[in-house]
Chain A
Amino acid sequence: DADVTQTPRNRITKTGKRIMLECSQTKGHDRMYWYRQDPGLGLQLIYYSFDVKDINKGEISDGYSVSRQAQAKFSLSLESAIPNQTALYFCATSDLGGEQFFGPGTRLTVL
């Protein structure tokens, strides 16, 4: 089984809809991250969490929110989706050493 899983893998939605992307990990890591990737751009950090009670904004947090339900679960929400949030979204985990392990990604399309 994959160490980091994301659901859904693909999602098409309409402008204004609320969307939740979920991430689960079995690596036992405390640290979890959400990134987005757009064509021609590097990965951009949206939010990160160093433990269940710790949530931090990344470079591009506007329009997004997160919830760390447990050590193994970190969800990303788009309260009111807009077309420029169409992107590939990745969840990642790491231990204190810093090496990050990524999930398979969620391809989100906002019409």
Chain B
Amino acid sequence: KNQVEQSPQSLIILEGKNCTLQCNYTVSPFSNLRWYKQDTGRGPVSLTIMTFSENTKSNGRYTATLDADTKQSSLHITASQLSDSASYICVVASAGNNRKLIWGLGTSLAVNP
């Protein structure tokens, strides 16, 4: 069964600190992996999209990694800011004839002053 699991479920950090969010998936065949940021009550916003051949991709203070062999991804946030408080969702796109997006449940991040 195609699944995307994220950890931790929630996380609280102090402003200025770094953090890493994890995503494990069992989706096959694999097309790409995406990280989204979703502020409370708003639509998700794309942070990165990585294909099979990409190991790392950055978007400002956000750096995503992908290990397609172990089917793991991480999102690293550097020098966190209060505005980073949000839910971070990992999404894996399957390939082939039955293409679909499998959404994780997200990690809820709170950045405190």
A positions within 8 Å CB-CB of B: 4, 40-45, 88, 90, 92, 98-105, 107
Contacts and interface: CB of A to CB of B under 8 A. Distances in A.
B49 A42 contact: no
Nearest to A44: B103
Nearest to A107: B41
A102 B105 contact: no
A101 B47 CA distance: 11
B13 interface: no
B43 to A, nearest CB: 3
Q: SS class of chain B's interface: helix, strand, loop or mixed?
A: strand
Given A4-B43, A42-B105, A100-B44, 6 more contacts: A40-B105, A42-B106, A45-B100, A88-B41, A92-B43, A99-B49
A16 B62 CA distance: 45
B49 A98 contact: yes
Interface size bracket, B side: 10 to 19
B46 A99 contact: yes
**4 shortest A-B CB distances, which residue pairs?**
A102-B43, A42-B103, A43-B103, A102-B44
A41 B105 contact: yes
A5 to B, nearest CB: 11
Given A98-B49, A98-B93, A99-B49, A90 B43 contact: yes
Interface in B20-53: 32, 34, 41-46, 49
A103 B43 contact: yes
